[in-house]
Amino acid sequence: MSSRLRIGGLLLAGLALAACVEPPTAPLDTPAGVETEGFEMPEVAATSVERRAQEVTVRVRSLGCEQFGLGSGFVLADGVVVTNRHVIEQPREVTVNTWDGRSLAAEVTGVATDTDLALLQLEDRGDLPVAELRTAPVERGEEVFAVGYPGGGPAQVSPGRVLGMVDGTVLGEPAEVIRVEVEISLGSSGGPLLDRDGLVVGVVFAVEVDAGVGLAVPVETLLERLDAGELVAPGVC
Amino acid sequence: MNQEPWAVSSDPASLSSSTSSATPPPRRRRWPTVAMIVLLVLATVGAVTATVVAVDQRDVAEQWEERALALEAQRDTVDDQRAEVADQLEATLDALTTSERDVDELEDRVRTLADEKARAEDTATTVQVERDVFIELSELISDATGALDTCVAQLFDLQSASVEAFNRANTGQDVDIDALNARSGEVTRFCNEARTAAASAEAAADRLLRS
Protein backbone atom coordinates (compact mmCIF):
# COMPACT_ATOMS: atom_id res chain seq x y z
CA MET A 1 0.00 0.00 0.00
CA SER A 2 2.72 2.45 0.93
CA SER A 3 4.70 1.70 -2.23
CA ARG A 4 1.62 2.36 -4.28
CA LEU A 5 1.14 5.61 -2.51
CA ARG A 6 4.78 6.51 -3.18
CA ILE A 7 4.43 5.71 -6.87
CA GLY A 8 1.20 7.68 -7.04
CA GLY A 9 2.92 10.55 -5.26
CA LEU A 10 5.78 10.47 -7.70
CA LEU A 11 3.35 10.50 -10.59
CA LEU A 12 1.45 13.44 -9.14
CA ALA A 13 4.69 15.29 -8.41
CA GLY A 14 5.86 14.72 -11.98
CA LEU A 15 2.59 15.90 -13.39
CA ALA A 16 2.67 18.94 -11.10
CA LEU A 17 6.20 19.72 -12.17
CA ALA A 18 5.25 19.35 -15.78
CA ALA A 19 2.32 21.63 -15.18
CA CYS A 20 4.38 24.25 -13.35
CA VAL A 21 7.28 24.50 -15.75
CA GLU A 22 5.44 25.84 -18.74
CA PRO A 23 7.30 26.66 -21.93
CA PRO A 24 7.79 30.35 -22.68
CA THR A 25 4.92 31.71 -24.60
CA ALA A 26 5.25 35.52 -24.32
CA PRO A 27 6.70 37.11 -27.43
CA LEU A 28 9.93 39.00 -27.18
CA ASP A 29 9.33 42.68 -26.83
CA THR A 30 10.72 45.00 -29.40
CA PRO A 31 12.88 47.86 -28.07
CA ALA A 32 10.75 50.77 -26.97
CA GLY A 33 11.15 54.12 -28.65
CA VAL A 34 12.75 57.10 -26.92
CA GLU A 35 10.22 58.97 -24.83
CA THR A 36 10.52 62.71 -25.45
CA GLU A 37 7.26 63.99 -24.04
CA GLY A 38 7.77 66.45 -21.24
CA PHE A 39 11.34 67.08 -22.29
CA GLU A 40 12.13 70.65 -21.27
CA MET A 41 15.02 72.89 -22.25
CA PRO A 42 14.83 76.03 -20.10
CA GLU A 43 17.90 77.62 -21.68
CA VAL A 44 16.36 77.32 -25.12
CA ALA A 45 13.05 78.67 -23.81
CA ALA A 46 14.78 81.67 -22.25
CA THR A 47 16.68 82.31 -25.48
CA SER A 48 13.42 82.13 -27.41
CA VAL A 49 11.79 84.66 -25.09
CA GLU A 50 14.68 87.10 -25.49
CA ARG A 51 14.75 86.54 -29.24
CA ARG A 52 11.04 87.17 -29.48
CA ALA A 53 11.37 90.26 -27.30
CA GLN A 54 14.00 91.68 -29.62
CA GLU A 55 11.80 90.96 -32.62
CA VAL A 56 8.86 92.93 -31.22
CA THR A 57 11.05 95.86 -30.20
CA VAL A 58 11.66 98.52 -32.82
CA ARG A 59 13.87 101.55 -33.20
CA VAL A 60 12.01 104.81 -33.67
CA ARG A 61 13.48 107.70 -35.61
CA SER A 62 11.57 110.94 -35.49
CA LEU A 63 12.39 114.01 -37.47
CA GLY A 64 10.77 116.86 -35.62
CA CYS A 65 10.46 120.56 -36.23
CA GLU A 66 13.53 121.43 -34.25
CA GLN A 67 15.09 118.11 -33.35
CA PHE A 68 16.02 114.72 -34.57
CA GLY A 69 14.93 112.06 -32.09
CA LEU A 70 15.91 108.43 -31.62
CA GLY A 71 14.12 106.03 -29.32
CA SER A 72 12.58 102.62 -28.99
CA GLY A 73 9.12 101.12 -29.15
CA PHE A 74 7.26 97.86 -29.47
CA VAL A 75 4.68 96.52 -31.87
CA LEU A 76 1.09 95.68 -30.95
CA ALA A 77 -1.63 94.19 -33.12
CA ASP A 78 -2.78 95.90 -36.32
CA GLY A 79 0.53 97.66 -36.84
CA VAL A 80 0.29 99.85 -33.75
CA VAL A 81 3.59 100.83 -32.17
CA VAL A 82 3.90 102.08 -28.59
CA THR A 83 6.65 104.53 -27.73
CA ASN A 84 7.27 107.56 -25.55
CA ARG A 85 5.73 110.92 -26.22
CA HIS A 86 9.06 112.67 -25.79
CA VAL A 87 10.56 110.54 -28.58
CA ILE A 88 8.21 111.86 -31.25
CA GLU A 89 7.28 115.38 -30.21
CA GLN A 90 6.18 117.63 -33.08
CA PRO A 91 6.91 114.95 -35.64
CA ARG A 92 7.40 115.71 -39.29
CA GLU A 93 8.59 112.29 -40.33
CA VAL A 94 8.66 109.09 -38.27
CA THR A 95 10.40 105.91 -39.33
CA VAL A 96 10.45 102.57 -37.54
CA ASN A 97 13.47 100.30 -37.92
CA THR A 98 12.97 96.62 -37.19
CA TRP A 99 15.60 94.28 -35.78
CA ASP A 100 16.17 92.69 -39.20
CA GLY A 101 16.80 95.90 -41.07
CA ARG A 102 13.39 96.89 -42.37
CA SER A 103 12.52 100.57 -42.39
CA LEU A 104 8.82 101.27 -42.11
CA ALA A 105 7.13 104.63 -42.37
CA ALA A 106 4.82 105.45 -39.49
CA GLU A 107 2.36 108.11 -38.51
CA VAL A 108 1.74 109.40 -35.02
CA THR A 109 -1.91 108.64 -34.29
CA GLY A 110 -2.05 109.92 -30.75
CA VAL A 111 -0.10 111.12 -27.77
CA ALA A 112 -1.13 111.00 -24.14
CA THR A 113 -1.45 114.31 -22.37
CA ASP A 114 -0.78 113.09 -18.84
CA THR A 115 1.71 110.30 -19.36
CA ASP A 116 4.78 109.79 -21.50
CA LEU A 117 3.13 107.53 -24.05
CA ALA A 118 2.41 107.80 -27.76
CA LEU A 119 1.02 105.55 -30.42
CA LEU A 120 2.22 105.18 -33.98
CA GLN A 121 0.52 103.47 -36.89
CA LEU A 122 2.70 101.64 -39.37
CA GLU A 123 1.78 102.33 -42.96
CA ASP A 124 2.87 98.82 -43.92
CA ARG A 125 2.05 96.35 -41.15
CA GLY A 126 4.01 93.54 -42.78
CA ASP A 127 4.42 90.35 -40.79
CA LEU A 128 5.93 91.84 -37.70
CA PRO A 129 5.64 89.79 -34.51
CA VAL A 130 3.35 91.31 -31.92
CA ALA A 131 4.04 91.92 -28.24
CA GLU A 132 1.63 90.64 -25.63
CA LEU A 133 0.64 92.75 -22.65
CA ARG A 134 0.37 91.41 -19.11
CA THR A 135 -2.61 92.62 -17.15
CA ALA A 136 -1.35 91.52 -13.74
CA PRO A 137 0.80 94.13 -11.97
CA VAL A 138 4.48 93.52 -11.37
CA GLU A 139 5.74 92.40 -8.01
CA ARG A 140 8.67 93.66 -6.03
CA GLY A 141 11.75 91.55 -6.74
CA GLU A 142 10.30 90.10 -9.91
CA GLU A 143 12.82 89.34 -12.62
CA VAL A 144 12.31 91.48 -15.72
CA PHE A 145 14.31 92.63 -18.69
CA ALA A 146 14.26 95.70 -20.86
CA VAL A 147 14.86 95.78 -24.60
CA GLY A 148 15.81 98.89 -26.47
CA TYR A 149 18.18 100.63 -28.82
CA PRO A 150 20.44 102.63 -26.49
CA GLY A 151 22.25 105.39 -28.31
CA GLY A 152 20.41 104.43 -31.46
CA GLY A 153 22.64 101.38 -31.66
CA PRO A 154 21.81 97.69 -31.98
CA ALA A 155 19.06 96.17 -29.86
CA GLN A 156 20.17 95.42 -26.34
CA VAL A 157 18.61 93.17 -23.73
CA SER A 158 19.15 94.33 -20.16
CA PRO A 159 18.06 91.96 -17.39
CA GLY A 160 17.23 93.10 -13.89
CA ARG A 161 14.54 93.09 -11.26
CA VAL A 162 11.71 95.25 -10.02
CA LEU A 163 12.70 97.46 -7.08
CA GLY A 164 9.17 98.62 -6.43
CA MET A 165 6.58 101.21 -7.35
CA VAL A 166 7.18 104.92 -6.82
CA ASP A 167 5.02 107.99 -7.05
CA GLY A 168 5.03 109.19 -10.63
CA THR A 169 3.41 112.58 -10.14
CA VAL A 170 6.77 114.31 -9.70
CA LEU A 171 7.66 112.99 -13.14
CA GLY A 172 4.40 114.10 -14.68
CA GLU A 173 2.83 110.67 -14.52
CA PRO A 174 -0.73 110.18 -13.31
CA ALA A 175 -0.01 107.13 -11.21
CA GLU A 176 2.80 105.09 -9.74
CA VAL A 177 5.61 104.05 -12.03
CA ILE A 178 7.81 100.97 -11.94
CA ARG A 179 11.31 101.40 -10.55
CA VAL A 180 13.61 98.78 -12.02
CA GLU A 181 17.21 97.85 -11.50
CA VAL A 182 17.87 97.62 -15.22
CA GLU A 183 20.53 99.28 -17.33
CA ILE A 184 18.76 102.05 -19.21
CA SER A 185 20.41 104.53 -21.57
CA LEU A 186 19.40 107.29 -23.91
CA GLY A 187 17.63 105.69 -26.81
CA SER A 188 15.99 103.03 -24.64
CA SER A 189 12.99 105.32 -24.14
CA GLY A 190 9.79 103.73 -25.36
CA GLY A 191 11.17 100.22 -25.22
CA PRO A 192 9.27 97.45 -23.47
CA LEU A 193 9.90 96.12 -19.99
CA LEU A 194 9.08 92.43 -20.05
CA ASP A 195 8.65 89.63 -17.56
CA ARG A 196 10.34 86.24 -17.79
CA ASP A 197 7.59 84.96 -20.07
CA GLY A 198 8.11 87.79 -22.52
CA LEU A 199 4.93 89.66 -21.61
CA VAL A 200 5.13 93.45 -21.56
CA VAL A 201 4.71 94.88 -18.05
CA GLY A 202 5.84 98.44 -18.68
CA VAL A 203 7.19 101.07 -21.04
CA VAL A 204 10.64 102.43 -20.22
CA PHE A 205 10.60 106.23 -20.16
CA ALA A 206 13.23 107.62 -17.82
CA VAL A 207 16.29 106.87 -15.77
CA GLU A 208 17.32 108.03 -12.32
CA VAL A 209 20.78 109.24 -13.16
CA ASP A 210 22.04 109.34 -9.59
CA ALA A 211 20.76 105.90 -8.64
CA GLY A 212 21.30 104.43 -12.07
CA VAL A 213 17.91 102.75 -12.10
CA GLY A 214 15.23 102.84 -14.74
CA LEU A 215 11.64 103.96 -14.61
CA ALA A 216 8.80 102.52 -16.61
CA VAL A 217 5.17 103.41 -17.15
CA PRO A 218 3.08 100.42 -15.98
CA VAL A 219 1.23 98.60 -18.71
CA GLU A 220 -1.99 99.26 -16.78
CA THR A 221 -1.65 102.96 -17.62
CA LEU A 222 -1.12 102.09 -21.25
CA LEU A 223 -4.17 99.83 -21.26
CA GLU A 224 -6.27 102.55 -19.62
CA ARG A 225 -5.25 105.04 -22.30
CA LEU A 226 -5.90 102.54 -25.06
CA ASP A 227 -9.30 101.59 -23.67
CA ALA A 228 -10.40 105.14 -22.89
CA GLY A 229 -9.02 106.58 -26.10
CA GLU A 230 -7.53 109.46 -24.12
CA LEU A 231 -4.99 110.33 -26.76
CA VAL A 232 -4.73 113.54 -28.72
CA ALA A 233 -3.18 114.52 -32.00
CA PRO A 234 0.49 115.38 -31.89
CA GLY A 235 1.71 118.95 -32.01
CA VAL A 236 2.67 120.46 -35.32
CA CYS A 237 5.46 122.77 -36.33
CA MET B 1 -11.55 -2.48 1.35
CA ASN B 2 -12.92 -5.31 -0.74
CA GLN B 3 -11.31 -8.66 -0.30
CA GLU B 4 -9.13 -9.49 -3.19
CA PRO B 5 -10.12 -12.55 -5.20
CA TRP B 6 -6.86 -14.18 -4.77
CA ALA B 7 -6.77 -13.72 -1.04
CA VAL B 8 -6.55 -16.81 1.09
CA SER B 9 -8.33 -17.12 4.34
CA SER B 10 -6.19 -17.35 7.39
CA ASP B 11 -8.88 -18.94 9.47
CA PRO B 12 -7.34 -22.03 11.23
CA ALA B 13 -10.66 -23.81 11.14
CA SER B 14 -10.99 -23.68 7.48
CA LEU B 15 -7.42 -24.68 7.21
CA SER B 16 -8.02 -27.70 9.38
CA SER B 17 -11.14 -28.68 7.50
CA SER B 18 -9.37 -28.50 4.28
CA THR B 19 -6.55 -30.61 5.55
CA SER B 20 -8.93 -33.08 6.90
CA SER B 21 -10.69 -33.70 3.63
CA ALA B 22 -9.25 -35.21 0.54
CA THR B 23 -5.99 -33.74 -0.11
CA PRO B 24 -6.35 -31.52 -3.12
CA PRO B 25 -3.22 -30.23 -4.61
CA PRO B 26 -2.05 -27.33 -2.66
CA ARG B 27 -3.14 -24.06 -4.22
CA ARG B 28 -0.27 -21.90 -5.35
CA ARG B 29 -0.15 -18.60 -3.76
CA ARG B 30 -0.42 -16.24 -6.79
CA TRP B 31 -0.80 -12.91 -5.07
CA PRO B 32 2.89 -12.17 -4.90
CA THR B 33 3.10 -12.73 -8.60
CA VAL B 34 0.11 -10.53 -9.22
CA ALA B 35 1.45 -7.96 -6.90
CA MET B 36 4.75 -8.11 -8.65
CA ILE B 37 3.06 -7.71 -12.01
CA VAL B 38 1.03 -4.82 -10.73
CA LEU B 39 4.13 -3.21 -9.35
CA LEU B 40 5.92 -3.77 -12.61
CA VAL B 41 3.05 -2.28 -14.53
CA LEU B 42 2.94 0.65 -12.17
CA ALA B 43 6.68 1.02 -12.33
CA THR B 44 6.55 0.86 -16.10
CA VAL B 45 3.78 3.43 -16.21
CA GLY B 46 5.72 5.59 -13.77
CA ALA B 47 8.89 5.22 -15.78
CA VAL B 48 7.09 6.05 -19.00
CA THR B 49 5.42 8.99 -17.35
CA ALA B 50 8.68 10.17 -15.87
CA THR B 51 10.35 9.77 -19.23
CA VAL B 52 7.61 11.72 -20.93
CA VAL B 53 7.80 14.42 -18.28
CA ALA B 54 11.57 14.48 -18.50
CA VAL B 55 11.50 14.80 -22.26
CA ASP B 56 8.84 17.43 -22.00
CA GLN B 57 10.82 19.35 -19.41
CA ARG B 58 13.94 19.04 -21.51
CA ASP B 59 12.02 20.63 -24.37
CA VAL B 60 10.80 23.33 -22.00
CA ALA B 61 14.32 23.85 -20.74
CA GLU B 62 15.57 24.09 -24.31
CA GLN B 63 12.86 26.62 -25.08
CA TRP B 64 13.79 28.62 -22.02
CA GLU B 65 17.40 28.45 -23.03
CA GLU B 66 16.49 29.63 -26.51
CA ARG B 67 14.46 32.39 -25.01
CA ALA B 68 17.32 33.34 -22.72
CA LEU B 69 19.69 33.40 -25.68
CA ALA B 70 17.20 35.41 -27.70
CA LEU B 71 16.78 37.86 -24.84
CA GLU B 72 20.51 38.12 -24.48
CA ALA B 73 20.82 38.78 -28.19
CA GLN B 74 18.01 41.30 -27.96
CA ARG B 75 19.71 42.95 -25.02
CA ASP B 76 22.92 43.17 -27.02
CA THR B 77 20.94 44.60 -29.93
CA VAL B 78 19.27 47.12 -27.66
CA ASP B 79 22.64 48.01 -26.15
CA ASP B 80 24.02 48.52 -29.65
CA GLN B 81 20.97 50.57 -30.60
CA ARG B 82 21.29 52.59 -27.42
CA ALA B 83 24.93 53.26 -28.11
CA GLU B 84 24.07 54.16 -31.68
CA VAL B 85 21.25 56.45 -30.58
CA ALA B 86 23.56 57.98 -28.00
CA ASP B 87 26.13 58.64 -30.72
CA GLN B 88 23.42 60.07 -32.95
CA LEU B 89 22.13 62.24 -30.11
CA GLU B 90 25.62 63.47 -29.42
CA ALA B 91 26.15 64.20 -33.09
CA THR B 92 22.76 65.90 -33.24
CA LEU B 93 23.58 67.90 -30.14
CA ASP B 94 26.85 68.98 -31.72
CA ALA B 95 24.99 69.89 -34.90
CA LEU B 96 22.35 71.77 -32.90
CA THR B 97 25.01 73.60 -30.95
CA THR B 98 26.76 74.49 -34.17
CA SER B 99 23.45 75.50 -35.75
CA GLU B 100 22.49 77.55 -32.70
CA ARG B 101 25.88 79.24 -32.79
CA ASP B 102 25.50 79.83 -36.51
CA VAL B 103 22.01 81.24 -36.03
CA ASP B 104 23.25 83.48 -33.23
CA GLU B 105 26.13 84.68 -35.37
CA LEU B 106 23.81 85.25 -38.32
CA GLU B 107 21.33 87.09 -36.16
CA ASP B 108 24.12 89.19 -34.73
CA ARG B 109 25.23 89.86 -38.28
CA VAL B 110 21.67 90.79 -39.25
CA ARG B 111 21.46 93.12 -36.26
CA THR B 112 24.80 94.66 -37.11
CA LEU B 113 23.74 95.21 -40.71
CA ALA B 114 20.35 96.51 -39.57
CA ASP B 115 22.12 98.86 -37.22
CA GLU B 116 24.46 100.05 -39.97
CA LYS B 117 21.47 100.52 -42.27
CA ALA B 118 19.55 102.43 -39.61
CA ARG B 119 22.56 104.63 -38.89
CA ALA B 120 23.04 105.20 -42.61
CA GLU B 121 19.40 106.24 -42.77
CA ASP B 122 19.98 108.52 -39.81
CA THR B 123 22.87 110.06 -41.68
CA ALA B 124 20.80 110.25 -44.85
CA THR B 125 18.01 111.92 -42.93
CA THR B 126 20.45 114.35 -41.37
CA VAL B 127 22.04 115.02 -44.74
CA GLN B 128 18.57 115.48 -46.22
CA VAL B 129 17.75 117.96 -43.48
CA GLU B 130 21.06 119.73 -44.01
CA ARG B 131 20.50 119.73 -47.75
CA ASP B 132 17.04 121.23 -47.26
CA VAL B 133 18.55 123.83 -44.97
CA PHE B 134 21.31 124.54 -47.48
CA ILE B 135 18.78 124.86 -50.26
CA GLU B 136 16.71 127.18 -48.10
CA LEU B 137 19.85 129.07 -47.10
CA SER B 138 20.97 129.27 -50.69
CA GLU B 139 17.59 130.63 -51.70
CA LEU B 140 17.64 133.11 -48.84
CA ILE B 141 21.15 134.23 -49.72
CA SER B 142 20.21 134.47 -53.36
CA ASP B 143 17.12 136.50 -52.52
CA ALA B 144 19.08 138.68 -50.12
CA THR B 145 21.90 139.17 -52.61
CA GLY B 146 19.44 140.01 -55.35
CA ALA B 147 17.60 142.40 -53.09
CA LEU B 148 20.79 144.05 -51.94
CA ASP B 149 21.97 144.27 -55.53
CA THR B 150 18.72 145.90 -56.50
CA CYS B 151 19.01 148.12 -53.44
CA VAL B 152 22.47 149.21 -54.54
CA ALA B 153 21.22 149.80 -58.08
CA GLN B 154 18.33 151.85 -56.78
CA LEU B 155 20.68 153.74 -54.48
CA PHE B 156 22.86 154.51 -57.49
CA ASP B 157 19.79 155.67 -59.39
CA LEU B 158 18.71 157.72 -56.41
CA GLN B 159 22.20 159.12 -56.14
CA SER B 160 22.15 160.05 -59.85
CA ALA B 161 18.71 161.57 -59.49
CA SER B 162 19.87 163.51 -56.46
CA VAL B 163 22.94 164.80 -58.28
CA GLU B 164 20.81 165.72 -61.26
CA ALA B 165 18.33 167.49 -59.00
CA PHE B 166 21.20 169.28 -57.26
CA ASN B 167 22.62 170.44 -60.60
CA ARG B 168 19.20 171.55 -61.82
CA ALA B 169 18.66 173.47 -58.61
CA ASN B 170 22.02 175.17 -59.05
CA THR B 171 21.12 176.25 -62.56
CA GLY B 172 17.80 177.65 -61.38
CA GLN B 173 15.68 174.92 -62.88
CA ASP B 174 12.67 173.46 -61.16
CA VAL B 175 13.26 170.39 -59.08
CA ASP B 176 10.50 168.00 -57.97
CA ILE B 177 11.60 167.45 -54.42
CA ASP B 178 8.48 165.47 -53.50
CA ALA B 179 9.17 162.91 -56.24
CA LEU B 180 12.75 162.69 -55.12
CA ASN B 181 11.72 162.19 -51.52
CA ALA B 182 9.16 159.55 -52.51
CA ARG B 183 11.76 157.72 -54.51
CA SER B 184 14.17 157.98 -51.61
CA GLY B 185 11.55 156.50 -49.27
CA GLU B 186 10.84 153.70 -51.72
CA VAL B 187 14.55 152.89 -52.03
CA THR B 188 14.93 152.99 -48.26
CA ARG B 189 12.00 150.61 -47.79
CA PHE B 190 13.33 148.28 -50.44
CA CYS B 191 16.81 148.33 -48.96
CA ASN B 192 15.41 147.62 -45.52
CA GLU B 193 13.63 144.59 -46.95
CA ALA B 194 16.91 143.53 -48.51
CA ARG B 195 18.64 143.89 -45.18
CA THR B 196 15.88 141.80 -43.57
CA ALA B 197 16.41 139.13 -46.19
CA ALA B 198 20.11 139.22 -45.50
CA ALA B 199 19.44 138.89 -41.78
CA SER B 200 17.22 135.86 -42.42
CA ALA B 201 19.96 134.27 -44.47
CA GLU B 202 22.44 134.98 -41.71
CA ALA B 203 20.08 133.46 -39.11
CA ALA B 204 19.59 130.37 -41.26
CA ALA B 205 23.32 130.00 -41.65
CA ASP B 206 23.73 130.38 -37.92
CA ARG B 207 21.03 127.73 -37.28
CA LEU B 208 22.78 125.37 -39.66
CA LEU B 209 26.07 125.88 -37.87
CA ARG B 210 24.44 125.18 -34.52
CA SER B 211 22.60 122.01 -35.59
Task: Give the pLDDT mean for B114-140.
Answer: 88
Q: Which helix (H) or strand (E) holds B141?
A: helix B31-170
* A148/A200 Cα distance (integer angstroms): 13
Specify the pLDDT at position A170.
Answer: 81
* B105/B96 Cα distance (integer angstroms): 14
Alpha carbon distance, N-terminus to C-terminus of chain A = 128
For B155-186, write each residue's pLDDT tens digit. 999 999 999 999 999 999 988 899 999 999 99
- Annotate A146-182 with b (16+ C-beta within 10 A) or e (fewer): bbbbbebbbbbbbebebbebbebeeeebeebbbbbbb
Look up residue B176 and give its DSSP letter. -
Specify the pLDDT at position B26.
Answer: 65
Sign of the CA dihedral B74, B79, B82, B88? negative
Residues of A whose CB is below 8 A from B114: 97-101, 154
Higher pLDDT residue, A63 or A13?
A63
B13 pLDDT more than 50: no
Specify the pLDDT at position B17.
Answer: 45
Interface predicted TM-score (ipTM) of this complex, two decimals: 0.75
Specify the pLDDT at position A6.
Answer: 57
Nearest residue in B to A59, CA atom: B118
Alpha carbon distance, N-terminus to C-terminus of chain B = 134
Active site residue A86: yes
Task: Give the pLDDT mean for B93-119.
Answer: 91
* A161/A158 Cα distance (integer angstroms): 10
For A14-57, write each residue's pLDDT tens digit. 555 555 556 666 555 555 555 555 556 666 667 789 989 999 99
Contact A151, A177 (CB under 8 A): no
Specify the pLDDT at position A28.
Answer: 55
Contact A80, A49 (CB under 8 A): no
Task: Give the pLDDT mean for A222-235.
Answer: 82
The one catalytic residue among A62, A116, A158, A195: A116
B82 pLDDT more than 60: yes
Contact A110, A228 (CB under 8 A): no
Q: Whose CA is closest to A123, among A163, A95, A89?
A: A95
Task: Give the pLDDT mean for B8-29.
Answer: 54
Specify the pLDDT at position B72.
Answer: 94
Active site residue A189: yes
Please tell me if residue A1 touches chain B, with a CB cutoff of 8 Å. no
